[in-house]
Amino acid sequence: MRMTLSQKILAHKAGLDTVTAGQLITAKLDLVLGNDITSPVAIRQLEKAGNRSVFDKDKVALVMDHFAPNKDIQSATQCKQCRDFALREGITHFYDVGRMGIEHALLPEQGLVTAGDLVIGADSHTCTYGALGAFSTGVGSTDMAYGMATGTAWFKVPSAIRVVLEGRLAPHVCGKDVILHLIGNIGVAGALYRSLEFVGDGCRTLDIDDRFTVCNMAIEAGAKNGIFAYDEVTAAYLIGRQKRPAVPFYADDDAIYEQTIHIDLSTLRPTVAFPHLPENTHTVDEIGEIPVDQVVIGSCTNGHISDLRAAAEVLRGRKVAKGVRAIVIPATNEIYLQAVREGLIEAFIEAGAVVSTPTCGPCLGGHMGILAEGEKCVATTNRNFVGRMGHTSSEIYLASPYIAACSAVLGKIGSIEEV
């Protein structure tokens, strides 16, 4: 049938034997996601349509994470609108302060996504769940409203780029370096409306958190989605979590790809994306003296427990440099608790960092670390656009938790060899 992994899932959910790139289809959804910014718009669309109810209260997830805990009256009003809607509709998966997390870390953790699922979310980084072998992608709030009401969505079937991963990452090199390397090579439009399908023996050397990070930032290359095939790494993560059985799909041996890219993981070096695009990448060996004012470790991209462990490895027994603000944000409460139990939070605080409740916070310029004029920040987040984290003259450098933590200690962008 010559279908890619993504096309296999779309064909199944559309009730078709086969689909081809460019074909328009309507497919059944396993989950519809919204947050405190995008959900109110979708809710208003449902109200305009005559207060239509959701198609399935168990297949809609609303996560209050962008401006929660609420930072001002407007954000409080938006969250209240979501709370009222969730109560009225009896939505099972509503996550608010105290039982929340950053949506793209929370939903897999709660077992709401599994292999073979088709998921849309009114947030561009919904593509994260491809790490579990799901087809997941971001949509607008109007499409979210339609999905909540009907349980379906329309898609133009994407073509695909095959990314063959070989070898194994060196110590202190991680999934963030993999995806930044790829984006640096193909550019922010290099995979425009294509699937990025990661294959090869190197995939098995990446843990699930690295896969989440890679798929999360597929959108930064313009991709419709990023995806890994279901394997033993996926299975190990899903055990005890998933609410329903995984339904693995695999690409046909003769699947059609527009392009094949080979990456030898063993050759990768820690990589940093300079302002103001994720494609503006440099390895640590190419970086001069760049002082930093702030470091952010967290977000849906790198707020997992392995990310916090990496940061703590650097910060334990060391101090954040004078004049640097170091902010650590665990992605979920479960991750936060695990970090407490492992002594990671203690290490962060003793080093001079501050630890926040789970929130998107400064990633989108929300709160918990807005930048002033001319300030520079090293962040484990996913975007470094102009004004993304504050003043339009501020600068964001995207990097792994290792590089971020090292930069906090050094007071400048630096690597593990320098601390």
Residue type, position 392, single letter: T
Residue type, position 99, single letter: R
Six-digit token pair at 412? 């400048």
pLDDT bracket for residue 418 (50, 70, 90): confident
Percent of the chain with pLDDT over 90: 93
Residue type, position 411, single letter: G
Place of tokens 């999905």: 147
What residue segments make up the domains of the chain, in order of their start?
A: 5-263, 273-410
Cα–Cα distances in angstroms (integers) from residue 187 to residues 26, 53, 214, in the given order: 30, 41, 15
pLDDT of residue 288: 87
Distance CA 25, CA 394 (A): 43
pLDDT of residue 419: 83
pLDDT of residue 373: 96
Residue 1 has pLDDT above 80, yes or no: no
Measured in degrees and rounded to the nearest 5, phi and psi for residue 35 equal -125, -170
Q: Is 308 helix (H, G, I), strand (E, B) or coil?
A: helix
CATH topology of domain 273-410: Aconitase; domain 3 (3.30.499)
pLDDT digits (tens, 9 = 90+) for 185-231: 999 999 999 999 999 999 999 999 999 999 999 999 999 999 999 99
Distance CA 163, CA 342 (A): 35
Cis peptide before 330 (omega within 30 of 0): no
Distance CA 343, CA 273 (A): 30
As a residue count, the chain comes to: 419
β-strand partners of 297: 328
Average of per-residue pLDDT values in the chain:
96
Helical residues (DSSP H) of 222-304, grouped into ranges: 232-238, 299-302
- For residues 133-140, average pLDDT: 97
Residue 315 has pLDDT above 90, yes or no: yes
List of residues 6+ apart from 302 with CB closer than 8 A: 176, 213, 380, 381, 400, 401
Cα–Cα distances in angstroms (integers) from residue 218 to residues 183, 198, 299, 410, in the given order: 8, 11, 15, 30
pLDDT digits (tens, 9 = 90+) for 276-303: 999 999 999 889 899 999 999 999 999 9
Q: Are 309 and 278 in contact (CB under 8 A)?
A: no
Q: Is 266 helix (H, G, I), strand (E, B) or coil?
A: helix
Q: Cβ atoms within 10 A of the Cβ of 285, count?
A: 9
pLDDT digits (tens, 9 = 90+) for 3-56: 999 999 999 999 999 999 999 999 999 999 999 999 999 999 998 888 778 999
pLDDT of residue 122: 97
The domains spanning 5-263 and 273-410 adopt the same CATH topology: yes
User: Would you tell me which CATH number, out of the four given (3.30.365.10, 3.40.50.300, 3.30.499.10, 3.90.25.10), belongs to the domain 5-263?
Assistant: 3.30.499.10
Q: Is 316 exposed, middle or buried (0-12, 13-18, 19+ CB in 10 A)?
A: middle
